Structure formats: structure tokens, C-alpha cells
Amino acid sequence: MPRTLPTPAAPAQDETRGVLAIKPFRKLWNSMVFSSLGDWLGLLATTALAQQLSGGDYSTANFAIAGVFIARLLPAVFLGPIAGVIADRFDRRKLMVSSDVLRTGLYISIPIAHNYFWLYTATILVECVTLFWSPAKEASVPNLVPREKLESANQVSLLAAYGTAPIAAALFTFLSLFTSAINAAFSLNTTAVDIALYLNALSFAFAAFTIWGLREIPKGAAAKHAAESGIIKSLLEGWKSVSGSKIIRGLVVGMVGAFIAAGAVIGLARTFVGDLGGGEAAYGVLFGAVFTGLAGGIALGPKVFAQFSRRRLFGASLTIAGLFLVGLAAIPNLVLAVFTVLALGAFSGISWVTGFTMLGMEVADDVRGRTFAFVQSLIRVVLVGVLAISPLIAAAVGEHTFKFQNTQVSYNGASVTILIAGLIAALIGAISYHQMKDRPNVSLWSDISNAFKGELGSITGAPTKGTFIVFEGGEGIGKTTQAKLLKAWLEQEGESVVLSREPGGSDLGIEIRKILLSHSTGEISPRAEALLYAADRAHHVHSVIRPSLAAGDVVISDRYFDSSIAYQGAGRVLEPGEVARISRWATESLYPTLTIIIDLPAEIGLARLGSKDRLEAQPIDFHERVRQEFLQLALLDPERYFIVDGNRSIEDTHTAIIARVSEIAALKRNAREDKGALLLRPIRAVNKVVRTTAKKTSASASKAVNNAKPKKKLNTK
């Protein structure tokens, strides 16, 4: 039986410290840190060696460096699907130790042989060995930590794998700068590349020694891997599982675009640095800058953009990363290039962590394995293809120098190829963004500005099947009349419609409405009033709106969260952003598909009222602030809001509203007439709908809301 460590009596406050406090896992993690550090150092060294062996020929250098990356990826393409199954048949501890010993010897042999043939051969052999080491390590971790700490163990494992890249880059830069001093101190005659490869070998030797003493790793297989098929079948099965989802298609397309750009940059980075006049040290700095930005984007991006729609964030950050890549290609300056790749890495990290997080969230559990296998296989194929093609493009373009009077600018094949990769990444990011656009009626700029302000409109809740339309505005503007007219028209068009209102759209809301609008309540503090409206809204969304939207209905609400922002925010002179955040939390980020604001000067609307409730009786300047806030909200997000002049007749207002509602994509499948035919419909037909509905409504919209006996069931399909 495999040994499982007992669960600690009390979990540590810090999960990272908690999992590293487990001695066997800490030993394994230490070996991972050193081997990952050595592996990144080895990558820098082998690509630098390939460039050195080219003899200064531009085309040869491009092909040589790309060959190193292809050699690292090819084993994963062909051997990856079966390596895990084979690895499960061996003693894991001995397999990991043997792998590390073999990698130690192979990396020592590269500087000794010092030729292309053995550089590529040894690289391929190292990757083949690594393919057996990795699944043995992954299968061992669950046996070294309690189940509840497994997620933390995976997080620190990723930190060991990727967080050591900037350290390796800094070490490689140091070796490049101080090679002469090192040779003098130790009486050596070697290069920075050779020293880096020897240090890489030493890191694997340390890992082998550490794991050899790790007796807690079980001898038998701790978990059975499902039989995996070849890469072609994996791609076909994976495509079947993702092709039916627009969101997952957008994710996959975006990830492919990201790795197209990554492949071009990885394959041409050393040549690009050489074109800018840099050597091994500059290559190390640029490499470290990319991964420093990547680590920063992964660690801080989700926090900085916590209020941004994840689906939009993925495509937007990929597009921005592509644009930075274009900028990198256009900058003939090494210092500016370093700062550019920091930003490029940061947005790439945001896109990377967002994409993989969403893939895990969006894909059903029963097809998640196939989907990830598809994505990983596709990424490998794309990387190999790009690494093979990008040097061809760079070599074909060659080296070019342009002179403008006293200025001389060089744009070579590496820069041009990176420029093309950046344009492709930006284009694919834009396509991915539109594929996954979760709120098509809300502008990107609105999301960006609101995300930084922490206000409403930034977080996107769970998608719904139905359509959500809200009427907003001041008092006496005819919202209730128009809501009922729109309901009648939509039902005439074959839609199932739920008509509701706030406050009072639920049984609980009816009681809250009495408290909020009755004069007998007396004065309520502005913050208490805002919280009461939020309570009504939370229950309204939970009990009426979301269930109806889930059923595919059209929900029409007479007022929603914008009323709180306008009335309790601007009207009561609270901070609108604070009120917005309360509503965002109360509604679980449910936003209307369309918000119709009927605009009318406050004095005209108030003059239409007979008796006034507690809010309607507020001073005129209160209502004017409310009106201006509604207009300001509409200006910030014109795609979601539609403003109608409240001075128009009931018929004209209704005609304008149904013309706008008919543009909603979700309703087009049921509409029997397009927008043009709608506008050409004889006005008497509209008047007939208005007259029929008007008979059922009160002459005053506000009186109808205030005096009508509340109905417990608001779904009047």
C-alpha cells in the first residue's frame, strides 16, 4: 500500500508554508527548483552555443537556434502520449534518479563534443528522459501531501518550474560578464556557455542525490494513467470536444495565437539580440525580462484586473501582447527592447493564466482530460511548426540597412518575422475576444474604465439564455406604460415575457417597498436606504429574474441597479461607485442586455403626478441630480443604454423602443419582421397595440405602480 502522510491537526494559515513544511515534499521541491534552474540555464546555453557554432552566418544562426528548440519539442510530440504509461511500470524513485543521472551525463558531454550533431542528439535524448521523469514526479506528489494540500503543492511546483527562469537568466548574464575573471580565478580556459552547461549538469546531479534519499516515494504505481492514443487521434477527439462551444473555441484559437507569437520570439530571440549589437549577457537580460514580466502577469494580473470579465480579459491581453510584440520588432534599441518585453511578458502571463483557468472552468468534467490533451498536443505541433518556419522567413528576409541623411537603421529578418508574429497574435487575440464576447451590448472601454474604478459593469456573471431589458428614468416619465406595451409587442412576436419591477418584484420585495416608499416610515439614512434597495434587488434576482432568464424568457423590469446609482448615489449625494459595488454584489454581477432610459426634465415629470410617495416628494434639485446621473451613465456605456425623449407621444416612444429592441441578436431568431419592415409598419397597427394595452393601464404610470394591488405571481406569459 502506498504511504500517505497523516493530515496535520490544524492547517497552517499560509498554504505555501504549510505544504513546504512537509519534509518529503520539501525535499522533492528542492530538487525541482535546482533541476528547473539548471534546465533554464541549459536552454540559454544551448541556444547560445548553436549561435556560436554558426560562424557568424545570419541564416545558419537562425536555423541552428531553431533546431535546438525543435529538438526539445519533437520527443514530446511523438513520445509524450505513451511516456506516462511506460513510466508507471517502473519504481518511481529509481526512475527519477536514473533520469537525473542520465541528464547530468548528457549535459556534461555537450561542451566536450562541441558540434551540431551532438548538440541536437543530446538535446533530444535529454527531452526523452525528461518525458519519463515528469509523470513519475507528478504521480508521486499525491503520495507526499494530504489531499487538501494538493492544490498548494501544484502551485509551488509551478513556481519552481517557471519562477527560476529569471534567476537562470541573471546567472547566465553574470557568467557572460565575468567569464574572464572566473577563468583567471580557477585557472580555466572555457566560455560562459560551457560553464552554464556544467552548472546545469551539477543541478541534475544534486536532484538525483536528493531524490535517492526520498524513501517516501512508493515503489508501485500510485495512479493508473488512462491509455492515451497517438497525437493525431488526440487532436481529432479533442476537436470534437471543443468544437461545440463558442467559448472554448475562442480559448483554443487564442492559445494557438499566443504560441505562434511565442514560437517566433523564442526561436529568433538570440538572433534578434545580435542584430541589436548585444552578446550573451544581453541575451540573458532579455530572456530574464520576458520571464520576469510573465511571472508578474501570472501573479499580479488576476488581482489587478479582478473586476474585469475573464472572457474579455483573455482576448484583450493577448491582443495587447501582440501589439507590444509589434513594437518590439520596430524598436532598434536594446534598452527599450528590455522594457518592451517586460510589458509583453506581463500581458502574455495574464493571457496564459486566464486562458488555462477558464479552460478548466468552462470544460465539462467528463471531457476535460481530452480537451487539455488536445490543447497540449496542438500547442506542441504549432510550436514545432513555427520554430521550423520562422528561421526560413528570417533567412529569406536577410539583413537590410536603411540610411536617411545622417541616420542609419537596420531591420533584419528576425525583426521582420517577429513583426509578422505580433500582427498574427494581435489579430487572433481580436478574433478570440469577439468569439468570447460575453456582453455584446457593453463596450470594451466601459469595462476597462469601470474595472479600474472598481465600479459596476466590470465583472461578468454566469451567462443566461434569456434577454434582460430594463426601463429606467425619473418620475412621471411613463416607464410602466412603456414596459407593458413592450411586453405586449414581444408576446405578439412569439416571445415568452416576464414583467416585473423594483422595489416589489417579489413577495419579500413587496414588504420592502412599503418601508421604502411609505411616508409613515419617516426619514431613512441614505446608506440604510441603499442597503434596503440592494436587499430587495438581491432577492428579486434570485427568485424572479435569474430563473426566468434560465428558462429562456425575456425579462422586463421597471427599474434595476441604475436607479440605486442615480437615486441613492447622486440623489442622496453618496458615492455612486460605492452604491454600484453594493448592487454588483447583490445581483451577482447580472447586467441587463439593454437599459432603456426615458429622459424628461424633472419638473415636467413631477407635474404629471397626483399623490407622491416618499421619494417622489423629494425636492426638485434631488430629482434633477437623478436625471443627470442617468444621462451620465448612458454616456459612459452607449452600447448598453438607449435614451428616449420622454416628451414624445406614447405611440412614438413605443415605436422607437421596439425598433431598438428588435436589434437584440437573441431576439432576432423569433422576430417575424426585420428592422426595416418594422419601421415601415403602418402606424395604425402600432396604435392598435397601444390602445389595447393602454386600456389595461392607469392614466398615470406612477399611480399604476403605487396604487395597483401587488400580484404575487409576476410571470404573465
SS3 per residue for 658-684: HHHHCCCHHHHCCCCCCHHHHHHCCHH
pLDDT band at 685 (very low <50, low <70, confident <90, very high): very low
The pLDDT, as a whole number, for residue 87 is 61
Closest CA to 556 of 648, 628, 661: 661
| CATH code that applies to domain 470-703 | 3.40.50.300
Query: For 171-175, 350-354, 360-364, 673-677, which range has the lowest pLDDT when averaged over its residues?
Result: 673-677
Nine cell digits for residue 297: 502577469
Backbone angles phi, psi at 351, to 5 degrees: -65, -40
Nine cell digits for residue 41: 540555464
In the chain, the largest separation of any two C-alpha atoms, in whole Å, equals 102
Better-scored residue on pLDDT, 329 or 596: 596
Better-scored residue on pLDDT, 70 or 159: 70
Please enumerate in sequence order all residues whose Cβ is within 8 A of that of 270, keeping only pairs 6 or more positions apart, or say none: 47, 48, 50, 51, 61, 65, 283
Rg (CA), the chain: 32
Residue 631: is its pLDDT beyond 50? yes
b vs e for 57-68, b when ≥16 Cβ sit within 10 Å of the residue's Cβ?
ebbbbbbbbbbb
DSSP state, 647?
T
Query: For 67-71, 244-248, 500-504, 514-518, which range has the lowest pLDDT when averaged over its residues?
Result: 244-248
Residue 232: is its pLDDT beyond 60? no
Q: Does an H or E element contain 556, and which?
A: strand 554-558
What span, in angstroms and rounded, lies between the C-alpha atoms of 403 and 665?
A: 54
The pLDDT, as a whole number, for residue 540 is 93
Most confident of 228-232, 453-457, 536-540, 687-691: 536-540
The pLDDT, as a whole number, for residue 221 is 45
The pLDDT, as a whole number, for residue 482 is 93
Q: Is the CATH number 1.20.1250.20 carried by domain 21-227?
A: yes
What span, in angstroms and rounded, lies between the C-alpha atoms of 697 and 654?
A: 15
Query: For 24-38, 172-186, 301-315, 424-438, which range has the lowest pLDDT when averaged over its residues?
Result: 301-315
What span, in angstroms and rounded, lies between the C-alpha atoms of 701 and 471?
A: 12
Nine cell digits for residue 166: 529569471
3-state secondary structure of 406: coil
Residue 13: is its pLDDT beyond 70? no
The 641-645 sheet, strands edge to edge: 497-501, 554-558, 467-473, 594-599, 641-645
Residue 554: is its pLDDT beyond 90? yes
- Is there a contact between 348 and 262 (Cβ–Cβ < 8 Å)? yes
Residue 166: is its pLDDT beyond 90? no
Please enumerate in sequence order all residues whose Cβ is within 8 A of that of 164, keeping only pairs 6 or more positions apart, or say none: 33, 36, 37, 40
Residue 635: is its pLDDT beyond 70? yes
- Is there a contact between 229 and 290 (Cβ–Cβ < 8 Å)? no
Q: Does an H or E element contain 693, and which?
A: helix 683-694
Closest CA to 41 of 110, 96, 87: 110
Instruction: Identify the CATH assignment for 229-438 out of 3.40.630.30, 1.10.10.60, 1.20.1250.20, 3.90.640.10.
Output: 1.20.1250.20
Most confident of 32-36, 73-77, 179-183, 538-542: 538-542
Better-scored residue on pLDDT, 76 or 282: 282
The pLDDT, as a whole number, for residue 713 is 38
Torsion angle in degrees (nearest 10) through CA of 176, 181, 183, 187:
-170
Question: Residue 183: left if φ>0, alpha if ψ -120 to 50, beta else—which one?
Answer: alpha
Residue 528: is its pLDDT beyond 80? yes
- Is there a contact between 317 and 347 (Cβ–Cβ < 8 Å)? yes
- Is there a contact between 374 and 326 (Cβ–Cβ < 8 Å)? no
Mean pLDDT across 405-429: 80
Residue 335: is its pLDDT beyond 70? yes
Closest CA to 531 of 572, 592, 583: 583
Q: Does an H or E element contain 469, and which?
A: strand 467-473
DSSP line for 559-599? --HHHHIIIIIIITT--HHHHHHHHHHHHTS---SEEEEEE
Sorted by where each begins, the domain ranges of the chain are: 21-227, 229-438, 470-703
Residue 434: is its pLDDT beyond 50? yes
Asked whether the domain spanning 470-703 has the same topology as the one spanning 229-438, the reply is no
Closest CA to 193 of 185, 166, 201, 125: 201
- Is there a contact between 355 and 301 (Cβ–Cβ < 8 Å)? no
What span, in angstroms and rounded, lies between the C-alpha atoms of 421 and 403?
A: 26
The pLDDT, as a whole number, for residue 557 is 94
Most confident of 52-66, 199-213, 281-295, 631-645: 199-213
CB atoms < 10 A from the CB of 253, how many?
19
pLDDT band at 374 (very low <50, low <70, confident <90, very high): low
The pLDDT, as a whole number, for residue 483 is 93
What span, in angstroms and rounded, lies between the C-alpha atoms of 441 and 444?
A: 10
Residue 468: is its pLDDT beyond 60? yes
Helix boundaries (H) for 363-493: 368-397, 413-435, 444-453, 479-492
- Is there a contact between 614 and 516 (Cβ–Cβ < 8 Å)? yes
What span, in angstroms and rounded, lies between the C-alpha atoms of 77 and 2?
A: 32
Q: What percent of the chain has pLDDT over 90?
A: 12
The pLDDT, as a whole number, for residue 216 is 78
Backbone angles phi, psi at 293, to 5 degrees: -65, -40
Write down the residue that cell numbers 527562469 correspond to: 165
3-state secondary structure 356-396: HHHHHHHCCHHHHHHHHHHHHHHHHHHHHHHHHHHHHHHHH
Most confident of 103-107, 251-255, 279-283, 308-312: 103-107
Give me the half-sphere count of Cα atoms (radius 13 Å) on the Cβ side of residue 472: 28
pLDDT band at 576 (very low <50, low <70, confident <90, very high): confident
pLDDT band at 686 (very low <50, low <70, confident <90, very high): very low
What span, in angstroms and rounded, lies between the C-alpha atoms of 161 and 700?
A: 68
The pLDDT, as a whole number, for residue 86 is 63
Better-scored residue on pLDDT, 179 or 61: 179
Residue 66: is its pLDDT beyond 80? no
pLDDT band at 669 (very low <50, low <70, confident <90, very high): very low
Q: Does an H or E element contain 252, and which?
A: helix 246-275
Better-scored residue on pLDDT, 70 or 228: 70
What span, in angstroms and rounded, lies between the C-alpha atoms of 523 and 210?
A: 72
Write down the residue that cell numbers 544534486 correspond to: 206
pLDDT band at 499 (very low <50, low <70, confident <90, very high): very high
Residue 684: is its pLDDT beyond 70? no
Nine cell digits for residue 484: 407593458
Which tens digit of pLDDT belongs to each residue from 176-227?
Answer: 888 888 888 877 778 888 888 898 899 889 989 988 888 877 664 433 444 4
pLDDT band at 675 (very low <50, low <70, confident <90, very high): very low
Q: Which residues pair with 408 in a beta bridge?
A: 403
Residue 626: is its pLDDT beyond 70? yes
Which tens digit of pLDDT belongs to each residue from 108-144?
Answer: 998 898 888 888 898 889 888 887 787 777 667 777 8
| Angle, alpha carbons 614-530-569 (nearest 5°) | 90
**Average pLDDT, whole number, for the chain?**
75
pLDDT band at 578 (very low <50, low <70, confident <90, very high): confident
